[in-house]
Chains A and B, each alone.
Chain A
Amino acid sequence: MIPELGHYALMLALGLALIQGTMPIVGTRTNDPALMSIAVPAALAQFVFVAIAFCALAECYVASDFSVLNVFENSNSQMPLIYRLTSIWGNHEGSMMLWISILAFFGAMVAIFGGNLPAKLKANALAVQAWIAAAFELFILVTSNPFIRIAEAPFEGRDLNPILQDPGLAFHPPLLYLGYVGFSITFSFAIAALLEGRIDAAWARWVRPWVLGAWMCLTLGIAGGSYWAYYELGWGGFWFWDPVENASLMPWLAGTALLHSAVVMEKREALKVWTILLAILAFSLSLIGTFLVRSGVLTSVHAFATDPRRGIFILAILVAFIGGALSLFAWRAPLLKQGGLFAPISREGALVFNNLFLVSACATVLVGTLYPLALEALTGDKISVGPPFFNATFGPLFIPLMIVMPFGPLMAWKRGDLLGAAQRLLAAAMLAAVAVAAAFAMTRGGPVLAPFGVGIAVFVMAGAVTDIVERTMVLRLPLRATLRRALGLPRSAWGTAFAHFGVGVSLLGIIGATAWGSERLAEVKPGESLEIAHYRLTFDGLFNRTGPNYRDVMGHFTVHRSSGELIGAMEPSRRTFPAREMATTEAALMTRGASQIYVSLGDPNKDGSVPVRLYFKPHVLLIWIGAMFMFFGGALSLSDRRLRVGAPRPAKAKAAQPKPSLQAAE
């Protein structure tokens, strides 16, 4: 009964989406307020029905209703409740349901909080949201229906893939989808602006929280996925340039560019056309990302042959939205009025520089990801494009970006003083030089250029601090005055500083872990020891342990410093899941400051020895700590007061105050 309720609710949502997608646009064309006002209640109703559908599916999972095919294939009654819930989105159909649930939710938020949006903009934007929702709902209903039932219900399900039974990966899809769908809102607003033929700073101010929110969620989602790969896959790597990873990185790069470009639009009403293009690009990449991961295209282009309907539908959606958006852009963009002038050396110039390099880096990732697919489709040759390609293209493009990053916030709008900014960054540059020297002195081995990378990372971090120092005039005013300035600084200034600082921290972590990490591969018998960096690990033996739906074979290692001092113990394991006959490696991590010792086991041999992978990763935790800084910086910016104040309304009566009144948007 419940699955049928959910199924029906989904169909109703599709109907509502079709209405929401057509009536308001007709209303904007014919200037009919009644038709335009359909958008808000339609969006709210659509959210209600999509939520009903999602909750119905969730109830099937929680109750372990194996008569639903989707639950049978992906769940198991022995699983803990939390994983029964997260397995809703651990498969294709369920994750599509999550996608449209978030889409409908965000549409409802625009409907509720968009009280002071111009009526036409709101109607158009909600209509475009509805097109996206309708396309996805149709896709789900036709090709990926989670509510399909099995005639004779099996007693037990096939279990969630053991790799996914993990807190990190359980919450990775929702975070990423919050990011992807957040960009759908900016896309809708961009298309709405094109449909209307006008765009202004108020548009940018309205869109900015959505860009920030989506970017923040994507940052966390990507960082979380990277950390999951690090501790779960057993090889100590945190980024493999896997097509699935690239699929999430590309929207992030475009989103970062959009974030910076929207700042220029909001402050100076410049770069309008470019901002709209970026909004279209960010969402297009989100769509490509979702479908690359979810359609099986990445494993083989010939996966289409097994289920062509899905692949063709996906391609149709991509062509319709990306092609349609770009065509609309080409046709209507010239209508948008030109914005403010600025000199090439200025804050706008720095932001344009930022955008250029981010977009070029994004293009290299796109080429590297799609090239094998294209080649296989055209010639049948199977190639792999891996880290060597991306390191040779992505890395060099990021270096200029990092070097210019501290200059941006220090330059004035419209016409900047490069020499002045450079003078203010002198302290930061000297700190960076000291760091380079220290890196050379304190490390052995590793690539020759790595200490310079450390210098760049320190320069970025010191540059962010310099920005705050300059704004609060820390060393030039008495402490009380400085504190007052600091508290009075707009939160977005603090947000910028924290986020840029976080980028430097992550960069430092990446360089440390990649350049100066060490590795030991060996087979150990009980009693034997392995040395790595300045630690010694002694293998004490294997023992067994049972969990709710798995069996563990654990190895016990005692960790000493090379000087003999006892530090602690580590227990890596091999975990077997009987339901799926799969084994996973559970690595053991010991944190020493920001570095980690990493141990993972292979299959025990018959003679009692066990193959062991032992790594020492210096400063590796900085990678994810940096991402936290970026997220925190984004949150600070999001809470900035001016983003909660809506566009001014013209004075209602002449007798009343002559100033336009500001109204809070939420």
Chain B
Amino acid sequence: MTRKQRRLVLIGGSLGVLAVAVALMLNAFRDSIVFFNSPSDVVEKHVGPGTRIRLGGMVKSGSIEHGDGMRIRFEVTDGNAEIPVVYQGVVPDLFREGQGVVAEGTLDKSGVFDADTILAKHDETYMPKEVADALKKSGHWKDDYAQRAALPVTGANK
């Protein structure tokens, strides 16, 4: 086998493996991309039941209800729209009323979001970046959420 033939074999093999890798990636992209939506996005884009999405916003104060068997129900809001969420399991450390939350799951037919994961990764201000962006977009962003979360919410301009 000459040098040139060997090089062609190597290059051909490499391209083959790369093609396999690209095919795997494209296939995986089709199935496993999950979009982030705020409650307003869900309403505006008419997200249908059964589509797997991430829902993020603030946990509406006073909306957390504990069921039995570790079931929990609460509402996610970005100031303009609200979506009720049900989840079964242990919630992460930073989950609290008046603080940011990102849940992953699907909407069911009655408009309730059935979450199978509640995401725990926040930065020091207890606000996931996507939730902060969504709140800014809906015009309800205030810089002192972390402190205000401890205070009872009164008044119309929350």
Contact = CB atoms under 8 A, between A and B. Distances in A.
Interface string B43-82: 0000000000010000000000010011000000000000
User: How extensive is the interface on chain A, given as a class?
Assistant: 35 or more
Interface of A: 161, 233-234, 299-300, 302-303, 338, 341-344, 352-353, 356-357, 360-361, 363-364, 367-368, 371, 381-386, 388-390, 392-393, 396-397, 521-523, 574, 580, 582-585, 602-603, 605, 611-613
Nearest to B9: A344
Interface of B: 1, 3, 6, 9-10, 13-14, 17-18, 20-21, 24-25, 27-29, 31-36, 54, 66, 69-70, 88-91, 93, 104, 120, 123-124, 129-130, 133
A583 B25 contact: no
B66 A360 contact: no
Nearest to B95: A603
Contact of A388 (B1, B6, B28, B66): B28
Contact of B14 (A161, A356, A583): A356
Given A299-B129, A356-B13, A388-B31, A521 B90 contact: yes
A584 B93 contact: yes
B24 A392 contact: yes
B53 to A, nearest CB: 10
Contacts of B13: 344, 352-353, 356
A364 B21 contact: yes
Contact of A383 (B24, B36, B120): B36
Given A302-B133, A521-B70, A389 B29 contact: yes
A300 B134 CA distance: 12
Contact of A393 (B9, B10, B25): B25
Given A383-B34, A384-B36, A389 B28 contact: yes
Nearest to A611: B90
Contact of A521 (B18, B89, B130): B89
A371 B32 CA distance: 13
Given A357-B17, A381-B35, A388-B32, A352 B10 contact: yes
Given A364-B21, A371-B29, 10 more contacts: A233-B120, A302-B133, A361-B21, A367-B25, A381-B36, A382-B130, A383-B36, A585-B93, A605-B66, A612-B90
Interface centre among B32, B88, B123, B124 (most CB of A within 10 A): B32
Nearest to B66: A605
A356 B10 CA distance: 10
B3 A383 contact: no
A153 to B, nearest CB: 22
11 contacts: A300-B129, A344-B1, A344-B9, A352-B10, A360-B20, A367-B25, A381-B36, A382-B35, A386-B32, A389-B33, A393-B24
Nearest to B128: A299
A299 B119 CA distance: 14
Interface centre among A383, A392, A393 (most CB of B within 10 A): A393
Nearest to B134: A382
A583 B93 contact: yes
**Closest CB pairs A-B (n = 7):** A388-B32, A382-B36, A392-B28, A300-B129, A360-B21, A602-B90, A299-B129
Contacts of B36: 381-384
A161 B124 contact: yes
A300 B130 contact: yes
B120 to A, nearest CB: 8
B72 to A, nearest CB: 10
Given A341-B6, A393-B24, A522 B70 contact: yes
A360 B20 CA distance: 9
B14 to A, nearest CB: 6
A389 B30 CA distance: 9
A303 B123 CA distance: 12
Contacts of A613: 90
B129 A303 contact: yes
A407 B10 CA distance: 19
B156 to A, nearest CB: 29
A343 B17 contact: no
A241 to B, nearest CB: 11
B54 A356 contact: no
Contacts of B133: 300, 302, 382
Interface centre among B10, B18, B90, B120 (most CB of A within 10 A): B90
Given A360-B18, A393-B21, A383 B33 contact: yes
A299 B125 CA distance: 13
Contact of B3 (A233, A338, A356, A364): A338
A116 B74 CA distance: 70
B1 A343 contact: yes
Contacts of A392: 24, 27-28, 31-32
Interface centre among B24, B93, B124 (most CB of A within 10 A): B93
Contacts of B29: 371, 389
Nearest to B24: A393
A356 B18 CA distance: 8
A357 B31 CA distance: 23
Nearest to A233: B120
Contacts of B14: 356
Contacts of B34: 383-384, 386
Contacts of B69: 523
A299 B123 contact: yes
B132 to A, nearest CB: 8
Contact of A397 (B6, B24, B31, B120): B24
A300 to B, nearest CB: 4
Given A352-B10, A385-B33, A386-B32, A360 B130 contact: no
A342 B32 CA distance: 41
Given A356-B14, A382-B36, A521-B89, A396 B24 contact: yes
A561 B25 CA distance: 45
A42 to B, nearest CB: 40
A582 B35 CA distance: 30
Nearest to A271: B10
Contacts of A605: 66
B146 to A, nearest CB: 9
A364 B124 contact: no
Contacts of B20: 360, 397
B18 to A, nearest CB: 6
A390 B18 CA distance: 16
